[in-house]
Amino acid sequence: MNKLLNKTLLWIERNPGIVVLCVVLVNLALRIIHTADSSIYLDEGQTMFQIKRPIPEIINDYVKRQQNAPFYFIFAHLWTKIVGLGVFKIRLLSVIFISLAGGMLYKLSARFFNPAIGIAASLLFLSNNIVMNFAHEARGYALIALLSISSFYFFLNLIFTTQRKFAYLLFATNLAIIFTHYLTIYLFLAQFIIALFALVLLKSKREFWIYLFSQIAVALLFLPWLRVVLEVMPEKGNFWIPTSSWPILKNVYYYLINGKLKTQIVFALLTLAQVVWLFQNKTNRDILLRLVLISWAFVPVLANFAVGFYIPVFLSKYTFYASFGFILLFAASFYSFLKIKYVYPLFIAWATVLSFISLNWQSPKAENWKDAVAYIKQLEKQDSCTIFIQNSYTYKAFYVYYDLDFFKESEYPMSEGEKFGVYFGEDIHHLQKLLPKISGKKLVLVRSHWTLGDPNADVLNYLNEHAELIKSTKEFKKVEVYEYLLNSTPDEAD
């Protein structure tokens, strides 16, 4: 058994290119199966609406008015020019990015640690819920995964080899990542801290200055865009993201590790592994690599946590890229901790099996528009009706399933969709304008994100009082559907 294991590891070590390709293909095969199973939600609807527009409109009408950097949307726009626009097609781009990220994670792990740690990290990456979720999401997080792992790969090669080509690659990658999501700025902070450690531990002055100049170049190119970032920066007290708190910080890791108890066990074991590591023989290179993983895993999260007390930006997905440092830290820590024959592969196999057991292959999203719209269309077949949807900005997710061709072709689907008898609004005043046009008819009220415009549920209360409720359902996640028969002459709303 030991001989077979050693032969396998030797083959893996001698064929890194084949192994990387296998990792990418396995990721692609397992993730592509359920790509379009779950419904798109609000943000994905926004993505699909924006990327069908010309690039100047994407930048001027969306990117410069929201907290969204432009690179992913431009890339996705070009992608849809090739493959077309649809739920599967746009999510396929994320599946490809995540699959390539899996290959890069193995490449980094095998290059700077060893193939065994690379295989362990790849298995944990493959079976992680948060990774699967972003593989099935039409947003920029899968691209960030690929860019962040590539960034650390080029960064470490620059620190340890001093080859200038890695400075150019790091410059290009970090420029792309900061234009993909502004809060990847914490990746720059983590790498700067690591570079300082390298300066002390490896006496790598030349490498440090090459690295620093490459990142100064990134900063100079990003500087003209900084005005846009400052203009769209959310203000504390006027934004939906809450202030940082200890429970929210804990939830970052509960989400990553999939549960409170698992998180407590993993952190206890990781702490024990670090204590054991402190008493083991190690070189300055070993020390630096462990500091790399700790910085990668925790600096972005803790930095964003600190900033979140002053600016509402602390969400786990915004520092998703720190997850890969955590996965690799887990794999590397237990390799040095469990050197007894067979123990490490058995431990990783056990951890992977547990992850696969709890893995949600379909990655359900925040709202279930897919099934809700199918239900609404069945209601339309049974009887002609008017549809009123709260909140108005949900139209992008709604129309993807209601009429995709119309969604793709219409420049203003919210207003132009009134020809279908579909109306969008926030509050009782929007409903009041609609009622005289449809008296004596059937009304389908759809509510999602309605609390922002109608916190007291005035629309629902009014209809319950002045119309006959036929049926209601809340079986679709975050989308409620109510069927009403209106009076012939509806009363005026109060």
Instruction: Report pLDDT digits (tens) over 414-443.
Output: 999 999 999 999 999 999 999 988 866 899
Query: Which of 202, 199, 345 has its CA nearest to residue 286?
Result: 202
Q: Is the pTM of this model over 0.85?
A: yes
Q: Which of 5-19, 273-287, 291-305, 374-388 is the least confident region?
A: 5-19
**pLDDT, position 483:** 96
Number of Cβ within 10 Å of residue 383's Cβ equals 12
pLDDT digits (tens, 9 = 90+) for 371-422: 999 999 999 988 889 999 999 999 999 999 999 999 999 999 999 999 999 9
pLDDT mean over 72-85: 96
294/299 Cα distance (integer angstroms): 8
Tell me the torsion sign for CA atoms 460, 463, 466, 471.
negative
**pLDDT, position 2:** 64
Residue 275 has pLDDT above 50, yes or no: yes
How does the average pLDDT of the chain come out, rounded?
A: 92
Cβ atoms of residues 243 and 308 within 8 Å? yes
Helices 284-307, 322-337: axis angle to 10 degrees equals 140
**pLDDT, position 94:** 98
**pLDDT, position 383:** 83
Q: How confident is the model at residue 362 (pLDDT cuts 50, 70, 90)?
A: confident
Q: How confident is the model at residue 493 (pLDDT cuts 50, 70, 90)?
A: very low
**pLDDT, position 10:** 81
pLDDT mean over 151-155: 98
Residue type, 225: W
Residue 494 has pLDDT above 50, yes or no: no
Structure token pair of residue 240: 């939906």
Cβ atoms of residues 390 and 448 within 8 Å? yes
Q: How confident is the model at residue 78 (pLDDT cuts 50, 70, 90)?
A: very high
The percentage of the chain sitting over the pLDDT mark of 70, rounded to a whole number, equals: 97
Q: Which of 2-11, 115-124, 128-137, 238-247 is the least confident region?
A: 2-11
**Which long-range contacts (C-beta less than 8 Å, at least 24 apart) are formed by 230-238?**
231/64, 232/64, 232/65, 232/66, 232/67, 233/67, 233/311, 234/67, 234/311, 234/312, 234/313, 235/311, 235/312, 236/310, 236/311, 236/312
Structure token pair of residue 490: 């509806």
**Which long-range contacts (C-beta less than 8 Å, at least 24 apart) are formed by 228-237?**
228/63, 228/64, 229/182, 231/64, 232/64, 232/65, 232/66, 232/67, 233/67, 233/311, 234/67, 234/311, 234/312, 234/313, 235/311, 235/312, 236/310, 236/311, 236/312
**pLDDT, position 396:** 95
Residue 491 has pLDDT above 60, yes or no: no
**pLDDT, position 489:** 53
3-state SS, residue 489:
coil
Helices 42-50, 87-112: axis angle to 10 degrees equals 100
Collect all residues with Cβ–Cβ distance below 8 Å to 216 and sequence separation of at least 6.
none
Q: How confident is the model at residue 335 (pLDDT cuts 50, 70, 90)?
A: confident
Burial category of 353 from C-beta neighbours within 10 Å (exposed 0-12, middle 13-18, buried 19 and up): exposed
pLDDT mean over 227-247: 90
Q: Beta partners for 482?
A: 445, 472
Cβ atoms of residues 98 and 31 within 8 Å? yes
pLDDT mean over 156-161: 94
3-state SS, residue 454:
coil
Residue-level length of the chain: 494
pLDDT digits (tens, 9 = 90+) for 93-146: 999 999 999 999 999 999 999 998 999 999 999 999 999 999 999 999 999 999
**pLDDT, position 6:** 73
Q: How confident is the model at residue 1 (pLDDT cuts 50, 70, 90)?
A: low
**pLDDT, position 492:** 47
Cβ atoms of residues 55 and 74 within 8 Å? yes
